[in-house]
Amino acid sequence: MASMKRVSGLDTHITRRDFVNGVAIGFGALLLGGTAAGHAQQAARTPVVSPDEDWYGYGGVGDYRLSHGNTPQAMAEAHRIRDGISGSGLGDPVSTEEYDLVIIGGGMAGLGAALEHMKQRREGQSCLLLDNHPIFGGESKENEFNVNGTRLIGPQGANGFFIPGEVSDIESASGDPRYYAELGIPREFEYRGWTAQKKPLRFCQDNYGYLVRGLQENTSVGHFFNHGNEGVWANDMWQQELANTPLDPKARRSLLDWYGTGANIHFVSDDQARKWLDTMSYKEFLEREQGMGAEGAKYADLFLAASCGLGSDVTSAYAAYQLPMPGLNDPPSPSSKRNSFPGGNSGYARHFVKKLIPEAITGEDKFEDIITGRINFNALDRPGQPIRLRLDSTAVSVSHVGNPADSERVEIVYRRGGKQHRLWAKGVVMATGSWINRYIVKDLPESHATALGKFRHAPFLVANVALTNWRFLYKLGITAAIWDRTEGDFGYTCNIRNPMQVGSYQPPLDPNQPTVLSFYTPFYYPGLPIEQQVILGRAELLSTSYANYEQKIIRQMIKLFGAAGFEPAKDVAGIILNRWGHAYSVPYPGFYGGAGDDPAPRDIIRQGYGRIAFGHSELDGLQHWGPAADEGRRAYTQVKDAI
């Protein structure tokens, strides 16, 4: 079976020769980032989103093929809400149901709320979880390819993890360790062996670790610099102390200074750190407080934008403190290994769902079946089961009946299949982000409405490229690439993982065999205000057609890998785009409350009101799966007594 999608004819009109002769432009420009003037021009463009094949593109095979990134349908519904053309005023609902608890949002936070409800529910209590996509998981979903009979799975978004420690008491634990214990997630995993007889290549086990200072050395990373006509590769540049790069000596010294700086300041408490660091950006911390050159902050942009949406100019130094960033932390030990399930954190979402609705994933309640089994969609939303999960359902209006302080129930209106439906609930968990909550929660107190308006969300694109082989990477001696982005380029980084082996899912690790090359692509425009950066990013993400992205990706691959023998027609089997319009809540300076004593916006939202509580990863500042589930769990406990 050859269920793959060839790139659409690109090979016929772009060759390496065309490329070198001028299809691509702007060699030798900036190390990272583009020009503010160019971006300001782009800002005038209006995002065009049409729910057709040309925008959404190929989705791969398997259960996730119809849900990669934000679907056009989910976005169209969201835009109707934003434009005020959805809601309870639009005619009578075609159905009405009553539940004790309604959870809105089927990502890690919503699943965390549902798991806690499952444990604490009283006999007979009912719960409905709504999500606006065709499959659960939110940003923790997967793509699947079939390349000439080889099954390949890759993450759509959230993808990697460190293995947490054991806990002795689940109830007092939180975050990742708690859910490992609660869901019985194993701590030992199998990866493909790599024989060094071939070439001593090192592989990242996720799509993230190769960007992290200290862990980058565990991967064979090539940095591509725009230099001369063809560009220059510098492999393992940090191990070589940048001696193999075309950077001038001053830039090298400045970058090495930054890279080599450990925890320069010791804070007596986390609160002391927050009060000072949250008043400045990481860039200000490095350059103003530490007197470092500009190169460190520019390089840090890559890592920060991959972790929290935008670069060092608009990310709080306190967020950088919580990450292993130079100047604020020592590098992690190189022995700390990142891991990734075949579909990234989809593996966690599937563990939650298996626990909530055992028949939802075929097979037994064991790791192998949970990770590789098929979804049984019919089992998700059966009448009478304690927790029902309803997909393709967009909540458009949520409000108390009467005054929130003494209301007896909440009315929820949602849209499904073009029709409006009504729910009554005694309690509601909004496991959705502020970008939508501020439109759909209709009776917000002013404090909450103001706080919701203070979040800023950056978009993100994960492009998974199925390859029939990766001989061109092998020839270059790399498994991950980071490039010196210049005008006209696509993305910043890409890599292939050493794929986890799970039961019958045994993907190869051989340059002559298929693999998935993942481009994790943020949108950041250094120097512009945060509001402009996120609008520009979304405009670019949403206004680019699938065919256009396909071209950009292939051109970028020709630029990087053409000289090493990359041939799109033979090497690319299919490309899936996963577009996330509001991927990350950006922890800008002040996000955590800054130096003041007033509650941060996230703490106001965490208070909830009446019978409605809020729990989403955006409240954490650094979005991560365990804390996301904790936010959902906390929100559930706030409404528990009301249901």
Ligand X SMILES: Cc1cc2nc3c(=O)[nH]c(=O)nc-3n(C[C@H](O)[C@H](O)[C@H](O)COP(=O)(O)OP(=O)(O)OC[C@H]3O[C@@H](n4cnc5c(N)ncnc54)[C@H](O)[C@@H]3O)c2cc1C
- The reply on whether position 157 binds ligand X by CB under 6 A is yes
Query: 257 or 620, CB closer to ligand X?
Result: 620
Query: 32 or 391, CB closer to ligand X?
Result: 391
Beta carbons within 10 angstroms of residue 155's beta carbon: 30
Query: 275 or 354, CB closer to ligand X?
Result: 354
- The site string for ligand X over 537-576 (x = CB under 6 A, - otherwise) reads ----------------------------------------
Q: How far is the CB of 620 from ligand X (least distance, A)?
A: 8
Q: How far is the CB of 521 from ligand X (least distance, A)?
A: 9
Are the C-beta atoms of residues 175 and 626 closer than 8 Å to each other?
Answer: yes
Token duo for residue 527: 């120097």
Amino acid identity, residue 303? F
| CA contacts within 13 A on the Cβ side of 314 | 22
Query: 133 or 388, CB closer to ligand X?
Result: 133
Residues 31-90 that bind ligand X (CB under 6 A): 74
- Residue 321 CA to its chain's centroid (Å): 20
Query: 103 or 535, CB closer to ligand X?
Result: 103
Q: How far is the CB of 94 from ligand X (least distance, A)?
A: 17
Q: Which of 344, 578, 570 is nearest to 470 (CA)?
A: 570
Are the C-beta atoms of residues 387 and 118 closer than 8 Å to each other?
Answer: yes
Which window, 153-161, 362-370, 511-519, 604-612, contacts ligand X (CB under 6 A)?
153-161
Q: How far is the CB of 271 from ligand X (least distance, A)?
A: 25
Q: How far is the CB of 323 from ligand X (least distance, A)?
A: 12
Q: How far is the CB of 240 from ligand X (least distance, A)?
A: 28
Q: Give dist(CA 10, CA 547) in Å, integer.
A: 10
CA distances to 164, 325, 584, 617, 626 from 176, in Å? 6, 21, 19, 13, 4
**Options 583, 586, 604, 639; binder of ligand X; rule CB under 6 A:** 583
Q: How far is the CB of 60 from ligand X (least distance, A)?
A: 17
Q: Give dist(CA 574, CA 580) in Å, integer.
A: 20
**Options 616, 633, 634, 640; binder of ligand X; rule CB under 6 A:** 616
Are the C-beta atoms of residues 541 and 491 closer than 8 Å to each other?
Answer: no
CB-count exposure of residue 147 (10 Å: 0-12, 13-18, 19+): buried
Residues 205-244 that bind ligand X (CB under 6 A): 208
Q: Which residues contact 490 (CB under 8 A, 6 or more apart)?
A: 519, 521, 549, 552, 553, 555, 556
Q: Which residues contact 307 (CB under 8 A, 6 or more apart)?
A: 208, 323, 584, 622
Are the C-beta atoms of residues 417 and 98 closer than 8 Å to each other?
Answer: no
**Options 34, 62, 69, 138; binder of ligand X; rule CB under 6 A:** 138
- The reply on whether position 371 binds ligand X by CB under 6 A is no
**Options 86, 322, 345, 397; binder of ligand X; rule CB under 6 A:** 345
Query: 460 or 566, CB closer to ligand X?
Result: 460
Which window, 155-163, 193-201, 294-302, 401-409, contacts ligand X (CB under 6 A)?
155-163
Query: 233 or 584, CB closer to ligand X?
Result: 584
Q: Using DSSP, state whether 65 is helix, strand or coil.
A: coil
Q: Give dist(CA 89, CA 410) in Å, integer.
A: 16
- The site string for ligand X over 92-131 (x = CB under 6 A, - otherwise) reads ------------xxxxxxx-------------------xx
- The site string for ligand X over 294-333 (x = CB under 6 A, - otherwise) reads ----------------------------------------
Q: How far is the CB of 62 from ligand X (least distance, A)?
A: 18
- The site string for ligand X over 512-541 (x = CB under 6 A, - otherwise) reads --------x---------------------
Query: 275 or 582, CB closer to ligand X?
Result: 582
Q: Give dist(CA 451, CA 447) in Å, integer.
A: 6
Beta carbons within 10 angstroms of residue 190's beta carbon: 10
Beta carbons within 10 angstroms of residue 316's beta carbon: 27
- The reply on whether position 139 binds ligand X by CB under 6 A is yes
Residues 397-436 that bind ligand X (CB under 6 A): 431-432, 436
**Options 394, 434, 498, 551; binder of ligand X; rule CB under 6 A:** 394
Q: Give dist(CA 58, CA 464) in Å, integer.
A: 11
Q: How far is the CB of 133 from ligand X (least distance, A)?
A: 5
Q: How far is the CB of 259 from ligand X (least distance, A)?
A: 22
Q: Which residues contact 510 (CB under 8 A, 6 or more apart)?
A: none
Q: Give dist(CA 148, CA 618) in Å, integer.
A: 40
Query: What's the angle, vertex CA 115, arms to CA 112 and CA 118, rounded to 5?
Result: 150
CB-count exposure of residue 293 (10 Å: 0-12, 13-18, 19+): middle
Binding site for ligand X (CB under 6 A): 74, 104-110, 130-133, 138-140, 157-160, 208, 345, 394-395, 431-432, 436, 440, 460, 462, 520, 580, 583-584, 616-617, 623-625, 628
